[in-house]
Structure 1
Amino acid sequence: MSSIQSWHINWELNELILNLMNQTKIQSNIKNTTTYNINNSSNTSNTKIDYQSISKFNEFTGRVIIRPIDVSVRMIAEFLGGYTFLNLRSPEKNQYLAEDIFYKLTTGISQPSI
């Protein structure tokens, strides 16, 4: 979720388009080996690091298009918006509930008039 920069819903094609920001990750292969000594009761654990296999790469760049099969794209958009709204809130209990932001994130429209 941290790599999502923005999203767009194409209602005509029933698809959700996620725009992902560039994020650098480090990939490493660490091999753990454990050596047991029969004569000695102490077991030793050795960690071998393969420095040649450590590499940096850019993986999260571009767009991801989601075309749901069994559910409506609206359901996925509402879930994504609700999750984003909850992440914007602080753990403070007396925080003001911004209903207009909630409606914009979950439904894509401003708060309905009552």
Structure 2
Amino acid sequence: MDDCIFCKIISGEIPSKKLYEDDEILAFHDVSPQAPVHFLLIPKKHIRNIMELGKDDVALTGRMINKAQELAVGQGCGEKGARFVINCKSDGGQTVNHLHIHVLGGRPLDWPPG
């Protein structure tokens, strides 16, 4: 998508502090972290939100969740845990229309999140 900031990050048009990359997934540190550990994991395939996932995306999303867990452990969240968040559309707080998982950790996180 021409106007998608995450697609521009994937293409290298916008720089990011990459944490992980393979043929299908990119993980990078959030530019405005809300916790000591805060990174995003996105599919390279443009999927607007979780409501638009198709049956063809099951393996991809499973890999994304598995990689998010692996990276969270690698960032020091294995013992005390982390929050894994997928916002969806305007009522869900989604601000970038490209599916993404926020992973936050490194401090206690309140609930509900404000």
Q: TM-score range by the shorter chain?
A: under 0.3
Q: Between Structure 1 and Structure 2, which shows a larger proportion of helix residues?
A: 2
Q: Between Structure 1 and Structure 2, which shows a larger proportion of strand residues?
A: 1
Q: Highest relative contact order (Cα 8 Å, sep 6+), 1 or 2?
A: 2
Tell me the TM-score normalized by structure 1.
0.26
